[in-house]
A and B are shown apart, each in its own frame.
Chain A
Amino acid sequence: MIGEFEYLILTAASRLGEHAYGASIRAEIESATGQPCSVGALYTTLDRLEAKGFIATRMGEPTPERGGRSKRLVRITASGANAASEFFRAVSRISQGASWVPNRANR
């Protein structure tokens, strides 16, 4: 099973679609968690996910707003989507009945 940071990256990449790359994934994770996301952690995890076959990356074209540097574009693969979905299901299952789950009172 993937780790929670890997799940965050996979989910962010999936939401961003073709606009998924280092900076946009970082911004997405930071806005969702409210925690800073380090570049080192992001890139080493991207490598790990790619080695596992959960994502595919390629270098984009250099852009002026990046000082003429390329983006590392990220695309989530089918097995990556499966892994993220499995993680989400596991988290959902184990969360049922937990005191901090909002819909507990309604059941």
Chain B
Amino acid sequence: MISRICWALSLWLSQALEPSERDAAIGDLVECGESGTTALQAVLGLTLRRQAAAWEDWRMWLLFAMVLLPLSFSLSLLSQGAAQESAVYTWMYANNWDWTLAKSSGFWYVFADAATRLFLSLLAIASWSWSTGFVLGTLRRHTLQPSRTLMFLLLALFQLGNLPQRFALFVMYRYGPRNLPALPDANAPVSAIMLYNVIFPWIVLAISVGLPMILGITDGERSSRLSPRWRFGVLLAVVTTLAMLPQVRGFGLFLGASTREWIWQHPGVARSLSLITYWPLLYIIATRMTRHGRAKVVAS
């Protein structure tokens, strides 16, 4: 049983290898009748060596410093913020539900407003995650594998250590306004519940960052089939979308005071920029519909 599980894990892990190498290495292990644990050890060793070899290239370090670290940090920060906000609303509605509320039109107004805001903020995070994945997907295969692994590792690490939130608090403490009175935590009842404090952020991270990023990587890999002009256009749109990341509230601290002031004075511009951010959703729908249409034609 354990051997079977280890074999299944080995086969899954071997997906990170080049197809020809996967064939050769797994074939060798099958031919020698190796046990599952030996196979797992062998595939893990080979995969790690391959991932480590990519770091001999200075471009991988550049990619790490310029793309992987800042984007994983930003997405983690955004996801944690959205998780906190959704946890508060979920707690408010799920843990304090009263049927009499349903009869109040004010309740539905606030509910619709909160749900729309949450949905749009999650959609924006998903769009940025998809865009990040798309950029990773366009990388060459030997760079894609280690960068993809590292991106997911960094996201998990940031989530485990709550690092972006800690960093944001540190920046606020160091550079924020001084002598503010310490206020009691208004969300203490929510953060005291393990479901909202521990499990919820992981769910939000998986839905708003993990899944869209996997989709983005797939679309980025498939983009090699597009014509060069189209591919350039999509990549340009993706990079523009990622450049819009600093406009969100959580990054106010990282912007200069004058830029912050300008954004506050022009909320319409910020809102319009958010609308542009959602374009990956249209791209996903359009590409899936086109592919579905083509599959139907081939089948008929």
Interface residues in chain A, defined as those with a beta carbon under 8 Å from any beta carbon in chain B: 21-23, 26-27, 38-41, 43-44, 59, 62-63, 65-67, 69-72
Contact = CB atoms under 8 A, between A and B. Distances in A.
Contacts, number: 70
Nearest to A27: B32
Interface of B: 20-21, 23-32, 42-43, 45-50, 53
B56 to A, nearest CB: 12
A3 B32 CA distance: 26
Contact of A69 (B23, B42, B45): B23
A38 B20 CA distance: 18
Nearest to A73: B24
A70 B42 contact: no
Nearest to B44: A40
Query: Which one of B21, B27, B32, B49 has the greatest number of beta carbons of chain A within 10 Å?
Result: B27
Given A39-B46, A40-B47, A71-B27, 4 more contacts: A39-B28, A40-B45, A43-B46, A70-B23
Nearest to B22: A69
A72 B24 contact: yes
B43 to A, nearest CB: 7
A59 B20 contact: yes
Contacts of A40: 42, 45-49
Given A40-B45, A40-B46, A44-B53, A59 B31 contact: no
B45 A39 contact: yes
A45 to B, nearest CB: 10
> Which 4 interchain pairs have the tightest Cβ spacing?
A69-B27, A40-B45, A66-B27, A72-B24
Nearest to A25: B28
A44 to B, nearest CB: 5
Scoring B21, B23, B26, B50 by chain A CB atoms within 10 A of each residue's CB, the highest score goes to B23
A20 to B, nearest CB: 12
B45 A26 contact: no
A40 to B, nearest CB: 4
